[in-house]
Amino acid sequence: MSTLSDKDKNFIWHPYTQMKDATAAIVIRKAEGVYLFDENNESYIDACGSWWTNLHGHSHPYITKKIAEQASRLEHVIFGGFTHEPAIRLAERLLKILPANQQKVFYSDNGSTAVEVAIKMCLQYWQNNNQNRTKISAFKNSYHGDTFGAMSVSARNVFTKAFENLLFDVISVDVPFLFNETEALNGFEKIVTENKSELACFIFEPIVQGVAGMTIYSADALDKMIAICNKHNILTIADEVMTGFGRTGKFFASDYLRNSPDAFCLSKGLTGGALPLGVTTCTQSIYDAFLSSDKTKTFFHGHTYTANPLCCEAANASLDLFEANNSFEKIKSISNLHHEFVSNNQDKFPIHKFRTIGVILAIEISAGETHYLNSIADKAYSFFIERGILMRPLGNVIYIVPPYCITIEQLHLIYNTIVEFLNQLQNDV
């Protein structure tokens, strides 16, 4: 009799996986809080929050109940010409917590589509305003998703290699890290000034570049970059797909900035990790550029499951929990523990780079090239899985982005396992 695992191998093609030599995918039967339970009832702490989505713990009874209640009322309805209460309530709530310049919410269904929507909105904004601005600027090392527009504004690397000739050109700019802040800012100002009449927008992951390896850069410098864009009327897009909903210690990473971006992309933590949903928000001025008696100025973009009521209700429930659960206290205490861990350990392992902000803790392992395909990733993954921890390294960067319900004991278990791993690496040398 074939097992679920056998059937999985027979029928399914997994994401980001070389299926030729993939080890059997672990069959998860149920999940609760930070724990995932497999077929044999082995448990794993979900230290990566299932690709950075989970905020309040898995199968949270409140979110589950709200989804079930919504499903029995209205599971889905076309969003062209129709609307529903969960989408309206969610839009109103998001606009309250986003910077005040955000005035309209456009729904889609994942992070990449939220980015596609933002890029298309900005490009068409200029077209509708009869200006030929078609260039986009983005950070080197950025990651904005896997659809063609999102890939185009992302770094050229192993993810995009097969499609390189098909992606549109982007003006890539240096990230303002501490060591190169002045040069990066000067370079940015020069590029923007030279291209100002053609630049439509600048897209960035605010303060933390997730897929690049949880690299953290200066909020102050980003603020200055947005100010430069504002000076030349270049639209700015904050891709908060990873950083949103408390990950960096504030609700949005853009809350560290004085200058508010013109558009926001949200997904991942938006539904607390329960269901897929994407949101792109924008200013009144962007929205107004599409208002016309000329129908060709319409924003011709939409996805079939746009604003699915179950997903919107999950997002509303997640926001309820954010308020009811003192999430910021939990985030603060996780952040304090991360800082303590870093200060206790970075001198013990000076060859590796430790970084932390909010609930994100990352360690760039010094072992060959910093690269997604660095073989240390497989070694680390197996090491942690064998010890009941789901950690999905980004190449030679191991990191944790846990749900906010994680306990001090669970965090210490992860920290101790990280130390064990780093010690083993040292002994292997």
Stretch that binds ligand PLP, among 31-39, 77-85, 91-99, 205-213 (CB under 6 A): 205-213
CB closer to ligand PLP, 211 vs 337: 211
Among residue numbers 131 through 160, which ones bind ligand PLP (CB under 6 A)? 143-145
Residue 271 binding ligand PLP, by CB under 6 A: no
The first and second tokens of residue 16, run together, are 């980001």
With a CB cutoff of 8 Å and minimum separation 6, the contacts of 130 are none
Total residues contacting ligand PLP by CB under 6 A comes to 14
Query: Minimal distance in Å, beta carbon 42 to ligand PLP?
Result: 27
Residue 241 binding ligand PLP, by CB under 6 A: yes
Distance CA 184, CA 174 (A): 5
CB closer to ligand PLP, 275 vs 310: 275
From 44, 107, 125, 143, active-site residue = 143
The first and second tokens of residue 139, run together, are 């950070």
Among residue numbers 340 through 379, which ones bind ligand PLP (CB under 6 A)? none
Residue of 36, 242, 361, 391 interacting with ligand PLP (CB under 6 A): 242
Query: Minimal distance in Å, beta carbon 347 to ligand PLP?
Result: 31
143 in catalytic set: yes
16 in catalytic set: yes
Query: Minimal distance in Å, beta carbon 355 to ligand PLP?
Result: 16
List 266's β-bridge partners, or say none.
279
Distance CA 208, CA 248 (A): 8
The first and second tokens of residue 289, run together, are 């550029």
Query: Minimal distance in Å, beta carbon 267 to ligand PLP?
Result: 5
With a CB cutoff of 8 Å and minimum separation 6, the contacts of 68 are none
Continuous H helices in 85-237? 85-97, 111-128, 148-152, 181-195, 219-231
Residue 417 binding ligand PLP, by CB under 6 A: no
Residue of 50, 112, 172, 218 interacting with ligand PLP (CB under 6 A): 112
From 66, 224, 250, 268, active-site residue = 268
Residue 313 binding ligand PLP, by CB under 6 A: no
Residue 263 binding ligand PLP, by CB under 6 A: no
Pairing mode, strands 263-266 and 235-239:
parallel
CB closer to ligand PLP, 170 vs 367: 170
Nearest to residue 261, comparing CAs of 289, 286, 278, 295?
286
List 137's β-bridge partners, or say none.
171, 202
Residue of 184, 185, 211, 367 interacting with ligand PLP (CB under 6 A): 211
Query: Minimal distance in Å, beta carbon 297 to ligand PLP?
Result: 27
CB closer to ligand PLP, 48 vs 380: 48
Residue 273 binding ligand PLP, by CB under 6 A: no
CB closer to ligand PLP, 330 vs 392: 392
With vertex at residue 120, the alpha carbon angle to CA 118 and CA 121, rounded to the nearest 5 degrees, is 65
Rounded (10°) CA dihedral 141, 151, 256, 275? -130
Residue 239 binding ligand PLP, by CB under 6 A: yes
The first and second tokens of residue 194, run together, are 């030279």
Residue 210 binding ligand PLP, by CB under 6 A: yes
Integer CA distances (angstroms), 319 to 12, 34, 97, 160, 403, in order: 34, 19, 10, 34, 14
Query: Minimal distance in Å, beta carbon 379 to ligand PLP?
Result: 23
Map residue 80 onto helix, strand or coil: coil
Helix (H) or strand (E) holding 234: none
Q: Please, are residues 84 and 162 in contact by the beta-carbon 8 Å criterion? A: no
Stretch that binds ligand PLP, among 162-170, 203-211, 333-341, 359-367 (CB under 6 A): 203-211
Residue 205 binding ligand PLP, by CB under 6 A: yes
Residue 116 binding ligand PLP, by CB under 6 A: no
The number of angstroms, rounded, from the C-alpha of 337 to the middle of its chain's C-alpha atoms is 22
| Contact set with ligand PLP (CB under 6 A) | 110-112, 115, 143-145, 205, 210-211, 239, 241-242, 267
Which are the catalytic amino acids?
Answer: 16, 143, 239, 268
